[in-house]
Amino acid sequence: MPEQATTPSSAETVYRFGPYSLYPARRLLTAGQPIDLRGRALDLLLALVERAGEVLGRAELERRVWPDVHVGANNLRVQMAKLRRALGQDGDDGPYVGTVPGQGYRFVAQVLKEGGERVAPPSPAVAAFALSRQLAPPVGRDETIATLAARLGRQRLVTIAGAGGMGKTTVALAVAAAVAERYPDGVALVDLSAVGEDDLVPATVAARLAPHIHAPDPVPPLLAFLKPRRMLLVLDSCEPVVAAAAALVGAVLAAAPDVDILATSREPLGLESEQLHRLVPLAVPLRSQGLSAGQALAHSAVQLFAARVAAEAGGALTDAEAPAVAEICQRLDGIPLGLELAAGQVAAYGIAGVARRLDDRLGLLVRGRRTAPPRHQTLRAAFDWSYALLSGPQRAVLNRLSVFVGGFDAAAAMAVVSPADLEDADTGGRVVEELVGKSLVVADRRGVEVRYRLLDTVRTYAREWLDASGGGAETRAFHASHYLRLFQAILPDWATRPVGEIVSRYGAEIDNVRQALDWCFNHAGDEGVRLGRALILAVAPLWQCLSLGMECHRWAALALGSPLPYADDRQSLGLQMLWAMAVTVMSIAPPDQVAALWQGVLATADRLGDGDGRLQAQQGLYFCHLQQGRVRQALELVRGMRKDVAEGGDPSALALAERMVGGALYILGDPAGARHHTEMALSLAESGPATGRRIRFQMDQQIVARGALAGMLWLQGNVDQGMEQLRRCLEQAMALDHAYTTCVVLGQSACPLALMTGDRAAAQRHNDLLTLLAERHGSLTWQPWARGFDLILRQRAGGTAEGLEELRRQMAAIGDLSHARYGILVRETALALARAGDLEGGLAMVGAALARAEANEEGWAQPELMRLNGELLFRRGDETAAEMLYRQALAVAEGQGALSWHLRAAISLARSQARQGRVTDAPDLLVRAVGRVNGGRPTAEVDVARVLLGHFQGIPAPDHVLDGPAGPAGGLLAA
């Protein structure tokens, strides 16, 4: 009976949309049977359907539904709610009646009119769009939308692929809206997410586009319907029925030449004509600490998160909140769904609270938009949707891959996959590529080898399944064993291949090494400890090349702390040596304790006849002697070491020994001898291959020797040559990119020389880099020095009492060490105290440094310390004692051949006589000193000396030259 009642005559007008038929003449709505919709609600439907696609304002609808009657705003809302309920629509998001905020309502489904002309709205119909979702364009996707919109003009099939929650549907809607005017027959959206069987795909598409089609095989009439039309068909969420969707798309492309198709799917459709666009995560900040709001908002992920938070709670992102927001975006991989869900939790937990709770991100992000599809209402639901569509082998392999952190290659992937996982699949590699196709694994094909990775959120989800399956321990054992085999296999390469090449290839594995070691020592029992110890020794060269001393220290401590017997004595020695190296490089123990560690290594190496262990121990003991002021003992040790390695024919070890002999002689005040041995070290290091063994002794010997040579040349008066060696040294350090080597060069050579030559800008630049590297690598050796140097530069630029007090504290924390670099700190701190009025404090500091230098035979800086002591005494009014010190400095510097110190002492003597208004031998001393430094070519000191010579000839010197370094103006930086 319902069928007879609703069969129209040939002249009757019928509007059809979705499963519904509307008969205006009979005021009847049906969907297989009559729908109970009457009165004002039916009048609303008629008004909207007749002008489908147009926005009808409140006033116009009220005139149509309540002619000549004044009604309140609530009447329209009540009748609209009745209409939506009758159509089975929940809320404002369509698919039939959409709300356009501030404007009115629009019928958004495509309407077919029978018994007359098809409804032709004045602008292209956008069918089945949830238009209210288009009011806020996708954040961070403007370029993608523009690219896809342009591509649709050239290609007939474009597929947007990506992982769950990436925003494929949102982008597709935005693209469709951008191109709608190109399609006079409209844009139609068909959601395939709820289609459970392939056979239902054609019927679903037909029901949306042409509901009058009721044929057993809907494909032929559907193609006939589409053939004359110029329209865009948007097929959303094709993944559950990808094969059937692909078949239908192929048929449409062949039969309907003016129909374009925009598809979204978690995997490609696989058609030859398909243009695939992989939708990647939004851009996230690479760092979070120290990030300002402006810097954070330069990244699209932060823009989206901040916009959603502002919409919920108002307010703009602040500098204080920026680091936590950056961390949230990083932890959520820039996945738009995750960011929106996290933003929705800010009202409850605050930004910092959301950041803290992200370890349970799948539990935290459980409440999305009520109007969103169920698969998009939580992050877990998005992944459940993808996971349910995987085959058994695909699920098993994805679970196994969750054990990786960061990237991995195909060999690593195969190492963790069990043959039992694959069932009838061809190979594990094929399954991995299938997961890439389904957007669950990311492939980076830019290098020689393909690198794979899982987004962190996907990894978290898959790891839950791995642990629930009981396969977690087995997979982690596979994982750790693979990296042990890998790094043991490449141990010989460190002696034959360029260091940059090895680090570039294997440095990417460091995160997985950490993961493996954590499992070995914290979760795997005795077998894990055995495996972990072997892995530590295999990975040690990489840690050394990456300057990861603190990390090496941590793992070596765990390995040595286990009571489990070692595999053999050499394993014990290797671990002890790594531990002692890390402690030395990082300065995390007092020198006497470090010396005891190295004595133990030396004894074991001698017992086992291990030459490399002996060399490492001798180097460690050398530095311990220097730090404790035992310079002669250090020289005696290294001369013996040099004799041994010279007989052994080991060029890199001989270069080390020559460099250390040069260093000890430099501290003892023999710059000529120091230069000879340092040049020998440089020559030996340059003749060797640039392999991984360059960092065999914790730093690159060639680069460090060149930096030391630069300082020696400057001290001997060869200023230009010294600065040229420093320039080459810095270039080589930057090219090598070895943090510890660069810190040594910056701290021992570049920063002091920049200060001594008066180049404040270079001093600040070098120290900024030193600070960055020292903090990044946790270097307790260089952090305090860099901080002290920075405080000195601040005082030179116009210091404060608070800054000076902080400098005092920093010097006290550094202590009294026998390193050349600390002499610069002592000099500059004493001057800063004097300029601030604390002459006695400055004198005490210089006096203590001189006493130490004399007691330990540290002659390298004695002339400068004597001169400085004289400057402070002159400032106090003790001119006679000051001049005596200047002359002592001249004599000591002359004896050492330290011509730069000699010129400075001559300047101080000349300045003293000029200020007293008397002249004796100062001009003659100045003329001789100037001629010997840099060949008389201009330097900071030479310029000052020439101004003073002019003063003696009747051309008054400026006050800042006569003032001296301890005066109120601070004198010149170099003098």
Three-state secondary structure of 724-762: HHHHHHHHHHHHHCCHHHHHHHHHHHHHHHHHHCCCHHH
Instruction: For residue 898, count other CB atoms closer than 10 A to its CB.
Output: 29
Residue 623 and residue 581: Cα distance in Å, rounded? 11
Domain of residue 643: give its range: 629-762
Q: What is the CATH number of the domain that holds 502?
A: 1.10.10.10
Confirm whether 846 is domain-assigned.
yes
634 and 735: one domain?
yes
Residue 482 and residue 515: Cα distance in Å, rounded? 12
In this prediction, the residues of the chain whose per-residue pLDDT falls under 50 are 1-10, 117-135, 366-372, 374, 376-377, 972-974
How many helices (H) and strands (E) would you count in the chain? 47, 16
Confirm whether 740 is domain-assigned.
yes
Residue 352 and residue 320: Cα distance in Å, rounded? 10
Q: Quick one: pLDDT at residue 264?
A: 93
936 and 874: one domain?
yes
Q: Quick one: pLDDT at residue 3?
A: 38
600 and 521: one domain?
no
Please state, for a pLDDT cut of 70, what percent of the chain lies above it.
Answer: 91
203 and 308: one domain?
no
155 and 236: one domain?
yes
733 and 784: one domain?
no
Confirm whether 540 is domain-assigned.
no
Confirm whether 387 is domain-assigned.
no
160 and 268: one domain?
yes
Confirm whether 537 is domain-assigned.
no
633 and 621: one domain?
no
Element (H, E) at 99: strand 97-100
352 and 418: one domain?
no
pTM (two decimals): 0.73
Q: Which of 359, 382, 405 is the last residue of a domain?
A: 382
Q: Which of 382, 401, 431 is the last residue of a domain?
A: 382
602 and 650: one domain?
no
Structural domains of the chain, count:
8
685 and 751: one domain?
yes
Confirm whether 131 is domain-assigned.
no
Confirm whether 189 is domain-assigned.
yes
Outline where DSSP puts E strands in 409-474: 442-444, 451-453
235 and 260: one domain?
yes
Q: Assess contact for 745 and 730: CB atoms under 8 A.
A: yes
Confirm whether 832 is domain-assigned.
yes
Residue 870 and residue 874: Cα distance in Å, rounded? 6
Residue 864 and residue 887: Cα distance in Å, rounded? 12
Residue 614 and residue 600: Cα distance in Å, rounded? 10
Residue with tokens 């990894």: 459
Q: Which of helix, strand or coil describes residue 228?
A: coil
